[in-house]
Amino acid sequence: MAATPAYLALIDQVKKKAKVERQKNKKLFDRLKTDKPKGVDKAFQQVHDEAFAHINCLECANCCRIAQPVFERPDINRVSRHLGMKPKKFIRKYLKPDPEYEYFTRKLPCVFLGDDNKCKIYEVRPMGCRTYPPAKLRLSPEQLHVLYENIGICPAVSEMVDKIKQRFPE
């Protein structure tokens, strides 16, 4: 199933907003990467929980539709075992190599996204999916980059970034 009408509208809204606010967001994330203001990790954890207290991923699933999940070796071993496949066969069937990360899925939407918007391999899903969006981790420049890249994809990230902008004004 696609996102619900309300979430389709929300996804469209955050995509447009991210385009309009691109420069402002870039400036914020550049500042967060270089200065890392005191308390920013905790603030992201709080706004993450506030966002997911009302956002329902099962009505959205936009990340599983348009952002390719990364599969690292432990993910491949775990998921292929779960599916009763040899890792090599699993890679041939579902993944393509990437120079920076180990592998991505071949197709979008993710082949493991069910018609009900649930992940068919939820219990064993890749670590990148488990921690997405990575606002509760200790924020490295890499995690900040992932959050920045997902402002126009994930309604939760969009909301978090709006709140972070207010809490950490220029």
The binding site for ligand SF4 (CB under 6 A) comprises: 55, 57, 60-64, 69, 110, 112-113, 119, 121, 125-126, 129, 132-133, 153-156
CB of 124 to ligand SF4, least distance (A): 9
CB of 78 to ligand SF4, least distance (A): 11
Question: Which residue's CB is nearer to ligand SF4, number 5 or number 169?
Answer: 5
> Whose Cβ is closer to ligand SF4: residue 36's or residue 149's?
149
Tokens at 104, concatenated = 């991505």
Q: What is the 3-state secondary structure (H, E, C) of 53-99?
A: HHCCHHHCCHHHHHCCCEECHHHHHHHHHHHCCCHHHHHHHHEEECC
Nearer to ligand SF4 (CB atom), residue 115 or residue 170:
115
What is the DSSP pairing of strand 95-97 with strand 103-105?
antiparallel
- Minimum CB separation of residue 130 from ligand SF4 in Å reads 8
The least distance separating ligand SF4 from the CB of residue 71, rounded to whole angstroms, comes to 8
